[in-house]
Structure 1
Amino acid sequence: MTDHAHGSSSHYFDISGNIVSWLRSLPKDRVVWAFTALVGATFVLVTDEAPALLGATGNSLIDTGPFIAVSILIAAYVKATGADALIAKALSGRQESAVLTAAVFGALSPFCSCGVVPLIAALLAAGVPLAPVMAFWLASPVIDPEMLVLTWGVLGPEMAIAKTLSAIGLGLLGGLSVMVLQRAGKLSDVLRDGVARKSSCGSRPASASQGCGPAKDDTPRWAFWREGNRRVQFVEETGTMGWFLVKWLSLAFLIEAMMIAWVPMDQIAGGLSDLGPFAVPAAAAVGVPAYLNGYAAIPLVRGLMEVGLQPGAALAFMVAGGVTCIPAAVAVKALVKMPVFLMYLVIAAVGSVAAGLLYSLYWTL
């Protein structure tokens, strides 16, 4: 019988072998241990509240599940077809143009801050330069088409337009900042080692120009299911990235649930209206822990504006919160090394304050 009939061992997904490998990795997984320790401490210290906290964590995972699943499947499809090399080539041309394109696409894309993680991992592993990836990553959590419509309806067209422009501006700030640093010889290796291996690119720096798809040429195989090795890669990428996101987001949503339960966010946010000229930077700082998600923040911001919060501070709150809320920040930290993560936070802080100040200036004219 021919090799085609049997297929080589690399053309089939070894379920038992992968499960065994996954189980062996659990005792060394710090994320799993951290989640387990928090759950254990919750049941010991606040036994009555533990079920509610776990329920909130589960509900958050369920609510974001469809978006995460679609994002994972898209990223796995991109990887299995070899389209990641094509995208890498498209975004590896003139950096300024690539950054602008990525910032605009990020602001208008339907990806949530967590759902974009699989695509970001695939692009970085494929060799897409960090500058356009950072532009996309910063712009994407701030707004999407549905959030734009909702913001327009609840807070008005000016706030909706300002938020969209802020997302694009934040992406440009991040992308251009990365370009400057990389031209100075910094940020040459950005992905955490484990993530690079999972993305089928070994430990190659993400600044490499070539792709790393399964084929030797750059021609995508759109009907990847016709080739055994590509089917294997699709399944493995889906499983690996799925588990990667589930464990990190479970930890993030548990921490978020604890903060919502124990920290009086409404009172903290309400105090912003009394800060006068310091309201914008204070709102950006408060936006980090107080921001739940883009949709929940809209009615909260409307209530704060009704009691005197200035529009610039409201915008800074939404922009900073969208980029640095716990699930988004944890997702970034899970993928990249500490210098890139710190840079992400600094750009988010500076950009959100700048957006708020510019919007305040607009209202004074």
Structure 2
Amino acid sequence: MDMTDQTHPQPGPFVAAWQHLWRKERPWLAFAVILLVVSVIDPAQFGPSVAKVVNALVSIAPFLAVSILIAAWAGATGADNLIARAFTGAPAMMILMGALAGGLSPFCSCGVIPLIAALLAIGVPLAPVMAFWLASPLMDPSMFVLTAGVLGLEFAVAKTLIAIGMGVAGGGIVHLVIRAGGLANPLREGIGNGGCGGAKVRAPKPPVWAFWHDPARVTKFRQEGIKTFLFLLKWLSLAFLLESLMLAYLPAQLVTQTLGGTGLAPIAIATLVGVPAYFNGYAALPLIGTLMEQGMQAGAGMAFLIAGGVTSLPAAIAVWALVRFRVFALYIAISLGGAFASGLLFHFWTLL
């Protein structure tokens, strides 16, 4: 028999369904496996972890709803073309505006995720989006007031300036890399239609603002909304589940002991510890305040807050879900370098 005439056997329905599930729904599979392991190893933690996920999703529901509606509306009306083109005129200005909007907007690291997903999905250039992405989790109006109350006005003002500076620097780096020919097709397959500085300019079509008169556009509105909702739901659920386990099993005392000491070493340690730290921006303030009262230098505290804020677990997982590995690696490198540099600058500033 001529073996070259044989065709490869097709997988059975069960195998095909599993392959599809593994390709498209890995976050849900990971979510289910983690919960199963927790229920077997530590049943008492099962309830609190599920409650954490539900409460966190409820808390950001307004951000999710608004962002999903914006993304669906832009797709249905054709306004996404106008939005994308608005970010292709003056890269430097767009990067600056993205950083300013991020540093001054009332978005936390979780609330900004749906907005970022919508911006990238409709083709907004990656550089200004990265500027907004880096700056937004670090500061917002309520965070400023709380930081000033716990750590002092000088610390709050410095953190705001650092947030904007991080956004400008990160967006600038991404823009330069793109101009040098890097970061081509930065988004994962199925996420929008590009987002780099050289995003393709699509054929201009006039927007149809009253899209509800067109059944095809109404269908597109519904499909885009459901698609965006399901995508964000699975990744945010996994992120909040992992965050709940870090809260439960990683002792705060260990973090406290690691950040003690003097010199430049604590700044480096604070940067590295801050990246996987489970504290959100608000929860970290009392910890840093206590450490500074015990002799921890302000630079290390700043480095910890910057590194932890930019690379908080939900934000980092969202980056991983939206962009390819090289963009994610650059995001982490900018976060680490920016946090360490911020800590150093603030340390020397306090010595003046």
Q: Deviations over 1:270-290 (max 9, x none)?
A: 431224321112111111232
**Contact 1:291–1:318 (CA<8 Å) still a contact in 2?**
no
Distance change (3 Å), C-alpha of 1:191 and 1:74: same
- Unmatched 5+ residue regions in structure 1? 1-21
Query: Which one is further off, 48-57 or 256-265?
Result: 48-57
What amino acid is aligned across from residue 105 of structure 2 in structure 1?
S
Q: Out of 287, 295, 298, which is 1:311 matched to?
A: 298
Q: Does 1:36 align with 2:23?
A: no
Q: Does 1:56 align with 2:64?
A: no
Equivalent position of 1:172 in the other structure: 168
**Contact 2:292–2:298 (CA<8 Å) still a contact in 1?**
yes
- Separation in structure 2 between the aligned mates of residue 329 and residue 233 of structure 1, nearest angstrom: 30
Q: Does 1:363 align with 2:347?
A: no
Offset, 1:56: 2.2
CA RMSD after TM alignment: 2.4
Q: Deviations over 1:47-70 (max 9, x none)?
A: 232222222222222222233223
Q: Does 1:185 align with 2:181?
A: yes
- Separation in structure 1 between the aligned mates of residue 199 and residue 224 of structure 2, nearest angstrom: 22
Equivalent position of 1:89 in the other structure: 85
- Separation in structure 2 between the aligned mates of residue 220 and residue 305 of structure 1, nearest angstrom: 55
**Contact 2:170–2:334 (CA<8 Å) still a contact in 1?**
yes
Offset, 1:133: 1.4
**Contact 1:291–1:325 (CA<8 Å) still a contact in 2?**
yes
Equivalent position of 1:259 in the other structure: 246
Q: Secondary structure at the match of 2:108?
A: coil
Offset, 1:30: 1.1
- Unmatched 5+ residue regions in structure 2? 1-16
**Contact 2:49–2:241 (CA<8 Å) still a contact in 1?**
yes
Q: Out of 69, 72, 82, which is 1:73 matched to?
A: 69
**Contact 1:127–1:211 (CA<8 Å) still a contact in 2?**
no
**Contact 1:68–1:114 (CA<8 Å) still a contact in 2?**
no
Offset, 1:146: 2.1
- Separation in structure 2 between the aligned mates of residue 273 and residue 72 of structure 1, nearest angstrom: 43
- Separation in structure 1 between the aligned mates of residue 208 and residue 109 of structure 2, nearest angstrom: 29
Equivalent position of 1:17 in the other structure: none
Q: Out of 276, 301, 320, which is 1:333 matched to?
A: 320
Offset, 1:113: 2.1
Equivalent position of 1:142 in the other structure: 138
Offset, 1:334: 0.5
- Separation in structure 2 between the aligned mates of residue 112 and residue 70 of structure 1, nearest angstrom: 15
Equivalent position of 2:331 in the other structure: 344
Q: Does 1:277 align with 2:234?
A: no
Q: Does 1:353 align with 2:349?
A: no
Distance change (3 Å), C-alpha of 1:182 and 1:38: same
Offset, 1:222: 4.1
Q: Does 1:158 align with 2:145?
A: no
Q: Out of 286, 293, 311, which is 2:280 matched to?
A: 293
Distance change (3 Å), C-alpha of 1:172 and 1:364: same
Query: Which one is further off, 256-265 or 117-126?
Result: 117-126
Query: Which one is further off, 345-354 or 51-60?
Result: 51-60
- Separation in structure 2 between the aligned mates of residue 250 and residue 86 of structure 1, nearest angstrom: 32
- Separation in structure 2 between the aligned mates of residue 297 and residue 85 of structure 1, nearest angstrom: 40
- Separation in structure 2 between the aligned mates of residue 120 and residue 49 of structure 1, nearest angstrom: 32
**Contact 1:188–1:207 (CA<8 Å) still a contact in 2?**
no
Q: Deviations over 1:317-346 (max 9, x none)?
A: 111111111111001100000000011001
Q: Secondary structure at the match of 1:140?
A: helix
**Contact 2:262–2:296 (CA<8 Å) still a contact in 1?**
no
What amino acid is aligned across from residue 340 of structure 1 in structure 2?
V
What amino acid is aligned across from residue 310 of structure 1 in structure 2?
Q
What amino acid is aligned across from residue 43 of structure 2 in structure 1?
T
Q: Deviations over 1:1-59 (max 9, x none)?
A: xxxxxxxxxxxxxxxxxxxxx99964641111111111111112222322222222222
Distance change (3 Å), C-alpha of 1:206 and 1:276: closer
Q: Out of 110, 114, 117, which is 1:118 matched to?
A: 114
Distance change (3 Å), C-alpha of 1:23 and 1:68: farther
Q: Deviations over 1:129-183 (max 9, x none)?
A: 2211111111111112221222223322211111111111111111111122112
Distance change (3 Å), C-alpha of 1:63 and 1:210: same
**Contact 1:134–1:174 (CA<8 Å) still a contact in 2?**
yes
